[in-house]
Amino acid sequence: MARLEIRVAAVVFLLALSRFRCDEEEISRKTYIVRMDKGAMPAIFRTHESWYESTLAAASGIHAAAPAAEFIHIYNTAMHGFAAKMSARQAAALESAPGFIHMFPDSAKKLHTTYSPQFLHLEQSNHAPSLLWKDSTYGSEAIVGIFDTGVWPQSQSFDDRKMSPVPSRWKGTCQAGPGFDPKLCNRKLIGARFFYRGYEAMSGPINDTTEFKSPRDSDGHGTHTASTAAGRDVYRADLLGFAAGTARGMAPKARIAAYKVCWQSGCFDSDILAAFDRAVSDGVDVISLSVGGGVMPYYLDSIAIGSFAAMERGIFVACSGGNEGPTDMSVTNIAPWITTVGASTMDRSFPANVKLGNGMSAHPTWSPAAIRSALMTTSTMEGKSGHVIGDEATSNSSTPFDFGSGLVDPVSALDPGLVYDLSVRDYERFLCGLNYSSRARSTVTRSHFSCSKDSTTRDRPSSLNYPSFSVVFDLSQKAYTTTVSRTVTNVGPAKSLYTARVVAPRGVEITVKPSKLEFQKRNQKMEFQMSITAKSSRSVAAGESETQFGVLIWSNTRGGRQMVQSPIAISRQQPF
């Protein structure tokens, strides 16, 4: 009898232990974003979705005590793979599955927080009428995708009066949901989708008493950013009785497609990637996000991954730099294939984000890199007062680490003279220069490529053909000299002669060879090298660094008045 009681007690204990482990597995479950090798799909599967389902089921079956893993999203465009909610054990089992490349846990990003056209001289320049808006037909053929909190379709900013039919290339749609009838879309607001499965998997069901489980905006942030980018003219607008006038977006005739990815508890990576997946397939020309998280490796960043896929298809991606600061390393969305836009204070008593949403539709054949280059090299480092842009946090003059390339001048960007263009291969070399593993590189680019076995200057991050220069000298070394190369493309007058002028900081010698670039035709490319030599510094303590700034200006002395300006950052760091 005693033995029987012992056996019963043992069985009860094992059952309880099994239940405990099951509950523990349930508590530990979270969403993972999984990158798969699209080309590794076995022939027995007809679709990638069925392959992913089988792979996930196999990982779930290994630990039968745990709840089955569940799909959140399938990715086909921005990334090859899926998002799924599973336990840590199931995730570990998935790593040995055929075709697996990389995974990372889902996480939440945060939102970043009507006079801009006049402030940026879109209506007039140097007291003369500006042709920028007219030449770009006010963005009428551009489609701007807004990733945010949704949209309030009844806003006057989204009126479609006198607008032409929706471009035939548009493949998107307007989804129905509480408070949102697809009939509310029109020739202005041509798309509206919402992505919530990643949010609900991590935060629980959406509270439908405070939010709309639909594209409708209950926060206001998404409606604001959409109208800023491409809102129609709204006359007699004001802000609580102040700043009365006409409110309009940067591209008032551009089409808007709203992708709701943000909810009360944040914007989750898995939903952001799903929005990129759909927006690229839908056919947007521009993607704008006022969303971000902390600085992280690109292969763990949903925005960096999604925007790379968009860039490959010629889609211009603009992201906000964040609300943090003024501390170092507080800017987000820093991948070089993204155009990162900071906040400035206009000559009114409230701040605003400077946004661009017309795809530079006056130059529809330009790559996203060429558009970004034009915006950067024609920016001004001076405010409207004529002085160097100030730092609101300190009331001192700011530096390129504060204002980047400067205040955007869209009128000058229409005719930049020279551009620093970039190809997908250039970005691949950049990732090689960061010493990313093959799996990490593939997670970002969705492709397999090899890095050079020999370390070359072209693979160094500082050699990326970017419209700015940044070099770092290790003070523990004896030599403080480096050379970087750049290639510029002539997009100005066919016969042009550009002369280099360098403003170098104290204690630094900078030379440019050749110092003159003579072009004979448009779209001609020419290469130059910049050599930088710095002196040692005794003022830098162990573990610290100091940075000085200079500038390179290419001036067109024949055929035009273009001035192509690039900031230079020279840092010295003292290791521990």
Render pLDDT for 482-504 as a digit per residue (tens, 0 to 9). 999 999 999 999 999 999 999 99
CATH superfamily of 2-105: Peptidase S8 propeptide/proteinase inhibitor I9 (3.30.70.80)
Mean pLDDT of 190-195: 98
Average pLDDT, the chain: 83
Of 1-5, 108-112, 496-500, 559-563, which range is least confident?
1-5
What pLDDT is recorded for position 479?
A: 79
Better pLDDT: 174 or 117: 174
What pLDDT is recorded for position 397?
A: 75
> What does the alpha-carbon distance between residue 271 and residue 277 come to, in Å, rounded to a whole number?
10
Mean pLDDT of 377-386: 81
What's the token pair of residue 189?
């607001």
Q: Name the band, by pLDDT with cuts 50, 70 and 90, for residue 481.
A: very high
Q: Name the band, by pLDDT with cuts 50, 70 and 90, for residue 244.
A: low
Q: Name the band, by pLDDT with cuts 50, 70 and 90, for residue 324.
A: low
What pLDDT is recorded for position 18?
A: 42
Residue 478: which residues within 8 A CB-CB, separation 6 or more? none
The number of beta carbons lying within 10 Å of the beta carbon of residue 23 is: 11
Mean pLDDT of 336-364: 56
pLDDT at 236 over 70: no
> CA 334 → CA 32, 65, 296, 445, 571, distances in Å?
23, 42, 9, 16, 18
Q: What is the pLDDT of residues 278-291, one digit of tens each?
A: 999 999 999 999 88
Share of the chain above pLDDT 90, in %: 59
What pLDDT is recorded for position 340?
A: 85
pLDDT at 361 over 80: no
Give the predicted TM-score (pTM) of the model: 0.85
Question: Is the CB of residue 489 less than 8 Å from the CB of residue 495?
Answer: no
What pLDDT is recorded for position 407?
A: 86
What pLDDT is recorded for position 323?
A: 56
Q: What is the pLDDT of residues 111-155, one digit of tens each?
A: 876 334 443 444 444 434 444 445 555 566 799 999 999 999 999
Q: Name the band, by pLDDT with cuts 50, 70 and 90, for residue 64.
A: low
What pLDDT is recorded for position 16?
A: 40
pLDDT at 329 over 80: no
pLDDT at 376 over 50: yes
pLDDT at 221 over 70: yes
Question: Is the CB of residue 408 less than 8 Å from the CB of residue 372?
Answer: no
Mean pLDDT of 320-349: 68
What pLDDT is recorded for position 533?
A: 95
Highest mean pLDDT: which range of 137-146, 291-300, 370-379: 370-379
> What does the alpha-carbon distance between residue 63 and residue 86 come to, in Å, rounded to a whole number?
11
> CA 449 → CA 38, 298, 409, 439, distances in Å?
15, 17, 38, 10
Residue 46, sorted as left (phi over 0), alpha (psi -120 to 50) or beta, turns out to be alpha
- What is the CATH T-level fold of the domain 424-573, as seen in this structure? Immunoglobulin-like (2.60.40)
Of 133-147, 250-264, 364-378, which range is least confident?
133-147
DSSP 8-state symbol, 243: E
pLDDT at 389 over 80: no
Q: How many CA atoms lie within 13 A of 473 on its CB side?
A: 23
Chain region(s) in the chain for CATH 3.40.50.200: 109-381
pLDDT at 543 over 70: yes
Better pLDDT: 116 or 330: 330
Mean pLDDT of 217-233: 89
Q: What is the pLDDT of residues 390-442, one digit of tens each?
A: 776 666 778 888 788 888 888 899 899 999 999 999 999 999 999 999 999 99
What's the token pair of residue 31?
């969403």
> What does the alpha-carbon distance between residue 276 and residue 260 come to, in Å, rounded to a whole number?
11
What pLDDT is recorded for position 334?
A: 86
- What is the CATH T-level fold of the domain 109-381, as seen in this structure? Rossmann fold (3.40.50)
Report the relative pairing of strands 343-345 and 351-353 from DSSP bridges: antiparallel
Of 122-131, 172-181, 372-381, which range is least confident?
122-131
What pLDDT is recorded for position 46?
A: 93
What pLDDT is recorded for position 576?
A: 79
